[in-house]
Structure 1
Amino acid sequence: MQQKTVFWLIWLGLIIYAFVFAPPNQPDTFELIKNLSTGQWQGINPLVISLFNIMGVWPLIYSAVIFIDGRGQKIPAWPFAALSFAVGAFALLPYLALREPNTQFSGQKNTFLKLLDSRWLGVVLTVSAAILVGYGLGQGDWANFVQQWQTSRFIHVMSLDFCLLCALFPALLGDDMVRRGLKNPQMFWLVALIPLFGALLYLCVRPPLPEASSELIPS
């Protein structure tokens, strides 16, 4: 119950901060989002391009865990996972607050869950993230990014959202490791303490999720 309260408080604080204390929206915010979404990146700081696209990688990372976790929950996982592609931690925090601890997986994986459980998904996401991070760090203008972070609500809140997604992943990690028979505290802390690439590394190396044999499931 205490952990649930913490998640609700973080969610409420995030909303209040984003709409009350963050810098104001800039007149060109909608145009910037449209250009980022459609690949019209001319004149946009590569750091902003990289961050925006990484914010599309994070929901896939969470989906690789949250849909499996949702199999044993009273609430469906898909609305929160789907909304996270648009609003990130704003959508995932309510799921974390509403879910119950779940260290079991029952039944069989359907095609969708097999895809999310695949190590190849982790590899593809890791390569994509590495390219994006390399592009942003190698070509980006940090002075310009800091200036935008200080003046643009979109850039400011997106940066905060990225940090929260890094910090919240361990809330699902522990149960996912138990479901797979992983009793390795060193791995947990390695994944938890390395932003972004810790979670990606986990998706690449975690063993497949065991499932019930079809022979044991009545027809």
Structure 2
Amino acid sequence: MGRKLLLWLIWLSFIVYVLVFAPPLQSDTFQPIQTLLAGQIPTINPVIVSLFSLIGIWLLIYSCLVFADGRVQNLPAWAFMLASVGTGVIALIPYLALREPNQSFSGEKDAWLKLLDAKPTGIILLFSTLVLLIYALVFGDWSAFVQEFLTNRFIHGMSLAFCLLCLLFPYPTLLSDDMARHGLTSDSQLFWLVALIPLFGPLAYLCLRPPLLSFRSTNS
């Protein structure tokens, strides 16, 4: 109950903060996202392009755990993840709050689960992340990004959402349950490495975890 309550408080606090306390809406608040969707990437600060893309990387990381987890939940995991494409962490946190801890998996993996469970998927995500970070570090205008963070509500909220995705990954038993489904003990050093190293810990986990076995139960 405490886990669920804290997640709902985080969810509500994030929404209230972005709507009330974040930088006010300006006429150009949503210009970055409009420019990105229009494909005019060269005109945008590489830091913003990378941040926007890394939000997508995070959602794919969560997908690699959530869709298998959803098989044993009374929740349509796909609906929450689909909604998160447009709303990010706002749609993801309710799933984390509503799901029940469960370390079992039953049934055959379909093609989608096989793709999300495959080590090459983790390797591709890791490589993509490295490219995005190098792009931001080498070509990005960080002083301009700081100014955007302080004045643009969209950039401000997206930056905070990225931080929340990092912080929540190990918390709501999603990670420990997934480790159990892959035959790993949640009290191992691997768990703490994944939990304490933002972004690259989860990526390394996806590259190293054993495959999820069909009809395998790891309930403790």
TM-score of the two chains, using structure 1 as the length reference: 0.94
Task: Letter of the 2:184 partner, please give it.
Answer: L
Write the letter of the residue equivalent to 1:112. W
Matching residue of 1:197: 200
For 1:43 and 1:120, how far apart are their aligned partners in 2?
32
Aligned Cα RMSD in Å? 1.2
Structure 2 residues not aligned, in runs of 5+: none
Matched, 1:19 2:4: no
- Residue 179 (structure 1) aligns with: 181
**Amino acid in the other structure paired with 1:77:** A
Contact 2:119–2:206 under 8 Å retained in 1: yes
Deviation at 1:32, TM superposition (A): 1.9
Deviations 1:83-129 (A, max 9, x none): 11221111111001100001000111011111111111111111111
> What percentage of residue pairs aligned between the two structures are identical?
57
The residue aligned with 2:165 is: 165
Q: Tell me the amino acid that sits aligned with residue 99 of structure 2.
A: R
User: Following the alignment from structure 2 to structure 1, what is the Cα–Cα distance between the partners of residues 117 and 46?
Assistant: 31
Shift of 1:38: 3.3
What letter matches 1:31 in structure 2? Q
Q: Which amino acid aligns with 2:16?
A: I
Deviation at 1:185, TM superposition (A): 2.1
Structure 2 match to 1:154: 154
Who is 1:217 aligned against? none
CA distance in 2: counterparts of 1:85 and 1:4, whole angstroms: 23
Q: Which residue of 1 aligns with 2:119?
A: 119
Q: How many residues align?
A: 213
**Unaligned stretches of 5+ residues in structure 1:** 214-219
Matched, 1:142 2:145: no
Runs of 4+ residues over 6 Å off in structure 1 = none
Distance, in Å, in 2 between the alignment partners of 1:18 and 1:32 is 17
C-alpha change, 1:203 and 1:157, in structure 2 (3 Å) is: same
CA distance in 2, matches of 1:85, 1:160: 16
Q: Secondary structure at the match of 1:29?
A: coil
Mapped partners of 1:113, 1:41: distance in 2: 32
When residues 38 and 202 of structure 1 are mapped into structure 2, their CA distance, relative to the original with a 3 A threshold, is: farther
- Where 2:210 maps in the other structure, the secondary structure is coil
1:212 is matched with 215
